[in-house]
Amino acid sequence: MRRHLNTLYVTTEGAWLRKDGANIVMEVNGETRARLPVHMLGGLVCLGRVMVSPPLLGYCAEQGITVSYLSMHGRFLARVEGPASGNVLLRREQYRRTDDPTRCAQIVQNILLGKLHNQRAVLGRGLRDHADKLTGDDKTALSHAHKRLDRIMDKVQSETSLDVLRGLEGEAAQSYFGVFDHLIRATETSLRFKGRSRRPPMDAVNALLSFLYTLLTHDCRSALESVGLDPAVGFLHRDRPGRPSLALDLLEEFRPLLADRLALSLINLKQVTAKDFQTMDNGAVLLKEDSRKIVLTAYQERKREDLRHVFLNEKAPIGLFPFLQAQLMARHLRGDLDGYPPFLWK
């Protein structure tokens, strides 16, 4: 079993990261603020104006630690990584599969079944956990959306057209996010959810979701690279220059648990409130710097929680699940598994 490694997030503006032996040292204005052994890390993410010394970049590349740069508001900018170590035969099979509509659709089916199952779980948990606080309209809307996702899952299981499967995903997303606001218990008007908006997010909930999706995409991409798959060539998401399509495929199964559910918990437990967001001149809503630290801490804590993997029938930290799914994807492409078993949240 692979050891679960941490991702180091550096959010301090003006921080300078350097190598000292086998350690990462963070300095601010010439003063040492932190020191961490490199062997504990699986990734390094720099948010905002954070500088990394060339020796440290080279050492991270040698150790297989990807260094990612995000804007101060969480938008992906760039990655620095070592030589690609993927198995060429595995990648060639990945490329052949994406070019075969029938075999590609089989994988897309299972990815969507995992995503829809986990979206249903979020709605079901909301109905159970807040049964005494939900109004009659809330319960009705959530129940209808839950049943609609059931019907869409039935269609996905019998569909073989990639275009139709992608259309069903869009239909499911519309139904799911159409009732997402019913799961929010906050009374602040600025924390209401009126629908998904991206690039840029136009309200606080979308800002929180987008930030969490960015973090999760980083983890999914690293997991795929670690097993030798090409994160840029996906099955559900079409190829596009600069887009990690396979990482976005893998992301779909984990959005409900590691992003949507976590966002709801942060808002409903008042760990994140309206004052944690700022509105820009163009109407975009973004997390403030100190608030990003709150979200990052909660995200890391969630990843440390143990959960039983349904297919493998063993417990592991949630943060290890993207790697487990990447392994299962690779095993399927090699022919060791008849189908790709998606992540199912129980």
Q: Does the annotation list 159 as a binding residue? A: no
* Cα–Cα distance for residue pair 65/98, rounded to 1 Å: 28
* Cα–Cα distance for residue pair 78/251, rounded to 1 Å: 19
Which run of H or of E encompasses 129? helix 101-129
Tokens of 36: 């961490």
Closest by CA to 268, choosing from 210, 182, 145, is: 182
Q: Does the annotation list 188 as a binding residue? A: no
* Cα–Cα distance for residue pair 271/291, rounded to 1 Å: 9
* Cα–Cα distance for residue pair 319/324, rounded to 1 Å: 10
302 close to 24: Cβ distance less than 8 angstroms: no
Q: Does the annotation list 62 as a binding residue? A: no
Q: What is the DSSP letter of 260?
A: I
Helix and strand totals (H; E) in the chain: 10, 12
Q: Which residues are annotated binding-site positions?
A: 169, 237, 252
Q: Which residues are annotated binding-site positions for Mn(2+)?
A: 169, 237, 252
